[in-house]
Amino acid sequence: MNLAKPDVWVEIDLSALRHNASAVKQSLPSGVALMAVVKGNGFGHSYVEPAKAFVAAGAAMLGVTRLEEALELRNGGVTAPILLLAPIQADNAAIAIENDLICAVDSLPLATALSEASAGTGVKAKIHIKVDTGMGRLGVLPDETPGLVREIASLKNVDIAGIFTHFATATEKNLAPAEKQLQKFGDVVRALKSAGLPVGIVHAANSAATLRMPAAHLDMVRVGTLLYGQYPAAYLPKTIDLRPTWRLKARLCSVREVPTGTRIGYGGEYVTQRKTRIGVCPIGFADGFTMIPEGPFYRLSPLGFFARKRKRSLTVTIHNRYAPVLGRVSMQLTVVDLTDIPKAQPGDEVIVPALRLATNPHIPRVYLETF
């Protein structure tokens, strides 16, 4: 059922998504492909429509973490190549092959399972070898990579279509560790080629490395954050023209006046100092509101983090004016001060700041050609 006026929704600008993908692609040297990363519910944008927008703008491949994410794309009609960035369960090998998915592999047992699942299908399982050059999370170690690739290359039904690594510190001001990772990865690739072993598409750069490490562009870059209109770190130079793509909205569900001395919300922590016109928005921490203030401060020490959190001031935007939040944000209701916004009425739109990835994925996404 389509509601005449939804209480809470996310607006997504498809034209901005296409613009950002095109801008990133144009910033790359000729011959370098773009993988659009749409993991994590498309960084809060959902999966299918953003993926289609990126492909239309020139993305050669899509990247997700889990098999379920890739299947949502396939079920939504997305036919572009999709790389699963994390190894799947071996029991799901046949499903990955049936859906023409490319699997990240860092072990012989998974490669063997994919080869066996491909037997009799007339197609080979496409895989990309994941190399751990310093992230310490997934991947085969550099000195073990040639042996693993040699064993996988001997399997009948496997196509080594690529090899990749992931940077741990490309957003940090000191690029030396990331450059060391790139050197290790380059050594691995050269060793494989010298031994006559397949490597396929070679890729390493995430959004930060795409901006800061031209030598890491290789055959393809894997970009997520930039496509959604954000830079991976505030201090990075704004060298690409990015457009905002996302905004969380709600509607005022109640507006009324309360007298001086009224306690607002759980705990009664806020007390009105004047006759106050309050509005209530049907949105709260279950939806992801109040998550954003912590986002910019996650690198602080615990003491600094809580000091900044204590002093923060939450606001929403109504009629292009800031409305302060009064009292605690509860699970699905938030009280705001409308005293200085006299035109605000029930049903009016409220723009709510929120961290995209923390925003409830069940909130409807509304796709527009432009905001």
Question: What CA dihedral angle connects 36, 39, 40 and 44, to 10 degrees?
Answer: 30
CA 337 to chain centre: 33
The whole-angstrom separation of Cα 171 and Cα 167 is: 9
E strand intervals along 55-95: 61-64, 82-84
Collapse the DSSP code of 293 into the 3-class scheme (helix H, G, I; strand E, B; otherwise coil) and give the result. helix
Residues known to be catalytic: 39, 266
Residue in the block written with tokens 């995430």: 206
Question: Is residue 31 classed exposed, middle or buried when 0-12, 13-18 and 19+ CB atoms within 10 A define those classes?
Answer: exposed
Q: 130 by DSSP, 3-state: which?
A: strand
The terminus-to-terminus CA distance of the chain in angstroms comes to: 24
Contact present, 104 and 66 (Cβ < 8 Å) = no
* Beta pairing partners, 272: none
Taking residue 91's Cβ as centre, other Cβ atoms within 10 Å add up to 9
- Given a contact cutoff of 8 angstroms between Cβ atoms, the answer to whether 45 and 247 are in contact is no
Closest CA to 208 of 244, 181, 245, 247: 181
For strands 365-368 and 8-13, give the pairing: parallel
Q: Are 63 and 39 in contact (CB under 8 A)?
A: yes
Report phi then psi at 181, rounded to 5.
Answer: -60, -45
